Structure 1
Amino acid sequence: MKVDYIVVGSGLAGILFCQRLKENKKTFVVIDDASQTASKVAGGLYNPVILKRFTPVWNAQTQLDLALPIYKQMEKEFDMNLDYKIPIYRLFASIEEQNNWFVAADRPRLNKYLDTTIQRLSNPAIRAAFGYGRVNDTGRIDTIKLIKAFQAQQKSLGQFMDASFDYEGIKIKDTGICYKSIEAKYIVFAEGYGLKQNPYFNHLPLNGTKGELLVIHAPNLNIDFVLKSSVFIIPLGNALYLLGATYEWNDKSNNTTPAAKSELLNKVKSFLQCEFTVEHQIAGIRPTVIDRRPLIGAHKQHKRLFVLNGLGTRGVMIAPYAAKQLYDYIELQKDLDPEVDIRRFSKD
């Protein structure tokens, strides 16, 4: 098989890079063994504001302007809904939080996103003595549907290998790459936390932050918005809600834990006062970087090997931007944004 690209990984990073390849008539094959689950367990929210501190997300508007048309195009391609426009309501715990919200809403980079009216929603299931603040330009991408649709499409085209990648199987030549029976011009590694096993790029400072979530059934909650307090609650339909998430820096397994379940339940019970049941629990390792920027670039010696990683906790927003950065770098010889270029960690 001869292709332009081998793409290792089919989470958000890999899918959005492949979307860029499809738009530009490039051929590719995807290799993925389903060992990395960060994109599958993601809440899928796009939100231009960091609601813990009421500060803007890095490059938020640029990311949204690029991402939303791409997801709309993918909805047409896969003939399914992926982008659910849904507001986020930040639950205030005090007058001080209200005041901090109003201060933030006056800032030029935030005033279009933060509604300055305190929302007073009558919902007996939620303790909300201080009301809510509404965030604009928010929504949710159904990452599980997206991943399943993409993988099914690529399998039907014979462009998907459900296998672990054998790094020792790479043969690098001046004219391209050979991997098993595949000849390619380039390889892009979009492996998430699996990068730690990659001998070409495991020197990069990728950290794994484990996240766990619960799916709960709450018939009397009745909300059609994302509720953000010490945890978020995302409506999934049929009285099911996604509750999350935890942050654990030491445990690097994809196993769910009783401790994370207890943490989430204790937090949600501080403001939720309706009955609910836990349907199931999920876990994954987010690929995070110390400076909260992606890892994009070429290997120092082997210029046909590339990395696309480190999307962190806001993958649905940043993946289209990161994918475009890498594609333009390879195919158009455009410089990478210095803030995402892996050379920012170079010692020479």
Structure 2
Amino acid sequence: MGHYIIVGSGLSGLATAETLLGEGHQITVFDDGSQKASMVAGGLYNPVVLKRLNLTWEGKRLMNLALPFYRALEKKLGVDFDEKISILRLFASVEEQNKWFEATDQPGLSEYLSTPLIANTNEAIHAPYGYGEVLHTGRIHTATLLSAYREYLEGIGSLQRKAFCFSDLRIEDDGVRYEGLHAGGVIFSEGFGMRSNPYFNYLPLEGNKGELLEIYAPDLKESRVIKAGIFIIPTGNDHYLAGATYDRNAEDPEPSAQARATLLKGLHKFIQCDFEITRQWAGIRPTVADRRPLVGVHPEHSTLFVINGMGSRGVLLAPYAARCLSGLILRGEPVPEGMDCIRFSRRFQSSEKKA
């Protein structure tokens, strides 16, 4: 069977590695730990865009692929990281309640949106119009998953914890050579770091900086995820994650005072008890303007591949994108039009002319 090099071990790299291993191939993964977006992600999986109350792109397909994928990984790694938890959408008005009722009648949404409204009984939360419940939801503890999977890769001799050096890559007719390895191809899954990739930096990858707070709120006593502009996620022992921010103009991966202030403002709108901030995280999500992943092969080099641009729904998108990429690499199956990076081939041609 073939041997493939994967650059990056975030959610996309992990899903690609596991998919190729599952088909009997060998892999070598390079990761220098520079990209943090997957490690600091909230990890919620939910096929509904709660702001607009519509299904995300390929929502049902993504759920049907992702949940079995993570169940199998839990069994393989012997680690629990898939937490089943309810997500409640807090209503700010009667109008929002009515929009919820309308959405529950729409094809595709009815199986994910519960019709009965839930009254608020928590005195620490201001929610006079109650909640709507999203069904079949949960949270992947991404840091736990990624740490366990990297240990697994090390155990089978498939992880190199160092940066990939582009100048050492040799592209040949029958594959690639790199540091003594002869592989069938290289798969780049570098997150926001792809902007420094000389082969795929023509793709319109954008950074979307996201920040989270951890708060300690002993009087909150909430066991469900609540989405109210921002979300709160209970993590145990009276601690909660609160987030997230979305900043398309920031490239500094460090936590900021501005995001902290934004999240605090959002929290004070519906939390009516005291709390303290115990930690703040930041990461730059790799996103694309059309909100579709970047998956496919290089326009000129048939052994160079990319899987990137998962944005804030990487937990759901990565298993499906990895399956599509492996189908392309191993069997020549076309990548679905919505995510095929060929949609930006004109940008590559333009960059070649400028060069």
The two structures have a TM-score, normalised by structure 1, of 0.98
Q: Is the 8 A contact 1:294 1:309 kept in 2?
A: yes
Q: Secondary structure of 1:118's partner?
A: coil
Q: What letter matches 1:146 in structure 2? A: L
2:298 paired residue number: 299
What's the Cα RMSD here? 1.1
Q: Secondary structure of 2:212's partner?
A: strand
2:170 paired residue number: 171
Q: Is 1:245 equivalent to 2:244 in the alignment?
A: yes
Q: Is 1:342 equivalent to 2:323 in the alignment?
A: no
Instruction: Please give the residue correspondences for 1:66-105 in structure 2 after superposition, counting only pairs within 5 Å.
Output: 66-105=65-104
Per-residue CA deviation, residues 74-115 of structure 1 (Å, 9 max, x unaligned), is 001111111111110000001111111111111112111111
Q: Which moved more, 1:179-188 or 1:202-211?
A: 179-188
1:154 paired residue number: 153
d(CA) in 2 for partners of 1:277, 1:183: 53
Shift of 1:157: 2.2
d(CA) in 2 for partners of 1:300, 1:335: 14
Shift of 1:36: 0.7
Q: Is the 8 A contact 1:48 1:137 kept in 2?
A: no
1:35 paired residue number: 34
1:6 paired residue number: 5
d(CA) in 1 for partners of 2:64, 2:174: 37
Q: Is the 8 A contact 1:120 1:131 kept in 2?
A: yes
Shift of 1:286: 0.4
d(CA) in 2 for partners of 1:280, 1:118: 33
Shift of 1:247: 0.8
Q: What letter matches 1:243 in structure 2? A: A
Q: What letter matches 1:81 in structure 2? A: D
Shift of 1:156: 2.2
Q: Is the 8 A contact 1:3 1:183 kept in 2?
A: no
Q: Secondary structure of 1:314's partner?
A: helix
1:48 paired residue number: 47
d(CA) in 2 for partners of 1:103, 1:73: 36
Instruction: Please give the residue correspondences for 1:129-278 in structure 2 after superposition, counting only pairs within 5 Å.
Output: 129-278=128-277
Q: Secondary structure of 1:339's partner?
A: coil
Structure 1 unaligned blocks of 5 or more: none
Per-residue CA deviation, residues 205-264 of structure 1 (Å, 9 max, x unaligned), is 110000000011111111111100010001111111110001111111211001100110
Q: Is the 8 A contact 1:3 1:29 kept in 2?
A: no
Per-residue CA deviation, residues 35-92 of structure 1 (Å, 9 max, x unaligned), is 1111011110110110011111111110111111110010011111111111100000
Per-residue CA deviation, residues 125-173 of structure 1 (Å, 9 max, x unaligned), is 1001000000011110110001100111112222111111111110011
Q: What letter matches 1:244 in structure 2? A: G
Q: Tell me the matched-pair count.
A: 347
d(CA) in 2 for partners of 1:238, 1:159: 37
d(CA) in 2 for partners of 1:19, 1:156: 14
Shift of 1:181: 2.2
d(CA) in 1 for partners of 2:216, 2:260: 15
1:20 paired residue number: 19
Q: What letter matches 1:198 in structure 2? A: N
Q: Is the 8 A contact 1:192 1:309 kept in 2?
A: yes
d(CA) in 1 for partners of 2:43, 2:99: 26
d(CA) in 2 for partners of 1:175, 1:59: 35
Shift of 1:3: 6.4
1:318 paired residue number: 317
Q: Is the 8 A contact 1:85 1:138 kept in 2?
A: yes
Shift of 1:121: 2.9
Q: Is the 8 A contact 1:216 1:276 kept in 2?
A: yes
Q: Which moved more, 1:272-281 or 1:173-182?
A: 173-182
Q: Is the 8 A contact 1:311 1:319 kept in 2?
A: yes
1:328 paired residue number: 327
Per-residue CA deviation, residues 292-340 of structure 1 (Å, 9 max, x unaligned), is 0000011111100000000011000010000000001111111110110
d(CA) in 1 for partners of 2:278, 2:25: 42
Q: Secondary structure of 1:343's partner?
A: helix
Q: What letter matches 1:135 in structure 2? A: V
Q: Secondary structure of 1:313's partner?
A: helix
Q: Is the 8 A contact 2:299 2:345 kept in 1?
A: no
d(CA) in 2 for partners of 1:56, 1:48: 6
Structure 2 unaligned blocks of 5 or more: 350-355
Q: Is the 8 A contact 1:210 1:286 kept in 2?
A: yes
Q: Is the 8 A contact 2:176 2:185 kept in 1?
A: yes
